[in-house]
């Protein structure tokens, strides 16, 4: 692979956290070697404490490796010049609680030195893209977990980064929010961005990632394209539609002549698909848009001054 095609590269990346006396406390990551291509969506998968966040922090230059190297866009992870091309959604977003969505994004735009008109337009675009239009003037301290995740994601996109690091992007989101987040990740991939995400939600990783690495106890256990890793090579699955009972019996006996038939059954859909279909099939009366927009409209309809009254009623 040519150097120009590589977005992220680690070589024998190792991190041992130490206590204040320098004694080893946790061997968080051991000799991780990875090469992630530009435009790839790459998933870091692993149970709690397996080293996912540690890997991301090392790649962001937020912590230093005990040994090994980490490069982003051809430069050492600690190189400040690469920061303009990077976006980061931390495991937990630390937001300024008294700012609203617009102010939050404008604040981060200012940090990146964006001109006022540009950052205003970008903030507006991201607020809409992340489905927060209805709450753009609300202080982020009043945001639900899922809304905070969305504004965190918007903040990670404010500088139109080339490489995105998303630490547990779907945590705290309901199934609709999760699907929207996954769609957004795929859209960003279409726009040519490289995305490294971590998760322990297996379905999320399966749906959006080109390749995955499975970490356990800080060590790389599996690496490869999702489809290849999941393929059971010695079993062939045949999917048929419109077969009557007689046809089914004939196919079953024909197959039995050539192979051991393990299963003939109807395929099942995922619980996520069932959930989303159920919600979409049963909209509330007159509800053409998502329930968030519906709710947003209701908030927008309050008579002038009544919001302030509602707030003071809530506070008292």
**Residues at the interface with ligand ATP (CB under 6 A):** 17, 25-26, 28, 46, 48-54, 91, 200
Phi (first) and psi of residue 222, to 5 degrees: -145, 145
Taking the C-alpha atoms of residue 154 and residue 141, their distance in angstroms, rounded to an integer, is 16
Q: Using the minimum distance from each CB to Mg ion, give the nearer residue, 127 or 197.
A: 197
Least CB distance to ligand ATP at residue 167 (A): 7
17 binds, among ligand ATP, Mg ion, none (CB under 5 to 8 A by kind): ligand ATP
Nearer to ligand ATP, 10 or 53 (CB): 53
Q: From residue 223, give the alpha-carbon distance in Å to each of 44, 142, 228.
A: 10, 40, 10
Burial tier of 55 (Cβ tally within 10 Å: 0-12, 13-18, 19+) = buried
Cα torsion 95, 140, 174, 195 to 10°: value is -40
Name which of Mg ion, ligand ATP, none residue 51 binds, using a CB cut-off of 5 to 8 Å depending on partner kind: ligand ATP
Smallest separation (angstroms) from ligand ATP to the CB of 62:
11
Cα(153)–Cα(167) distance, integer angstroms: 10
CB of 28 to ligand ATP, least distance (A): 3
Min CB(15)–Mg ion separation in Å: 13
Cβ contacts of residue 300 below 8 Å, gap of 6+? 134
The least distance separating ligand ATP from the CB of residue 178, rounded to whole angstroms, comes to 17
Residue 54: which of ligand ATP, Mg ion, none does it interact with, CB under 5 to 8 A by kind? ligand ATP
Site for Mg ion, rule CB under 5 A: 52-53, 91
Q: What is the CA radius of gyration of the chain?
A: 24
Q: Closer to ligand ATP at the Cβ: 28 or 151? A: 28
**Residue 62 CB: number of other CB atoms within 10 A?**
14
Nearer to Mg ion, 48 or 239 (CB): 48
């Amino acid at each position: 692979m040519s150097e120009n095609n590589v977005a992220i590269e680690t070589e024998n990346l190792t991190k041992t956290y130490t206590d204040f006396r320098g004694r080893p406390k946790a061997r968080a990551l051991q000799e991780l070697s990875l090469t992630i291509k530009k435009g790839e969506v790459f998933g870091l998968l692993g149970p709690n404490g397996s080293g996912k966040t540690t890997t991301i922090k090392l790649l962001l230059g937020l912590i230093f490796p005990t040994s090994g190297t980490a490069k982003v866009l051809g430069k050492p992870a600690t190189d400040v010049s690469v920061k303009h091309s990077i976006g980061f959604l931390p495991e937990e977003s630390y937001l300024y609680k008294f700012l609203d969505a617009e102010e939050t994004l404008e604040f981060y735009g200012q940090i990146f030195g964006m001109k006022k008109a540009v950052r205003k337009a970008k903030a507006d675009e991201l607020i809409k893209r992340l489905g927060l239009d209805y709450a753009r003037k609300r202080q982020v301290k009043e945001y639900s977990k899922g809304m905070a995740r969305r504004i965190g994601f918007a903040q990670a996109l404010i500088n139109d980064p080339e490489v995105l690091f998303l630490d547990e992007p779907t945590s705290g989101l309901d199934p609709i929010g999760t699907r929207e987040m996954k769609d957004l990740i795929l859209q960003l991939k279409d726009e040519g961005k490289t995305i490294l995400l971590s998760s322990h939600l297996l379905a999320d990783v399966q749906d959006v990632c080109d390749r995955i690495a499975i970490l356990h106890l800080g060590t790389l256990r599996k690496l490869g394209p999702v489809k290849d890793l999941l393929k059971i090579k010695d079993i062939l699955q045949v999917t048929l539609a419109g077969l009557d009972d007689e046809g089914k019996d004939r196919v079953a006996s024909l197959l039995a002549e050539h192979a051991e038939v393990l299963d003939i059954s109807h395929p099942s859909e995922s619980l996520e698909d069932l959930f989303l279909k159920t919600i979409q099939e049963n909209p509330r009366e007159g509800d053409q848009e998502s329930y968030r927009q519906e709710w947003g409209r209701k908030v927008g309809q309050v008579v002038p001054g009544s919001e302030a009254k509602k707030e003071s009623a809530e506070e008292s």
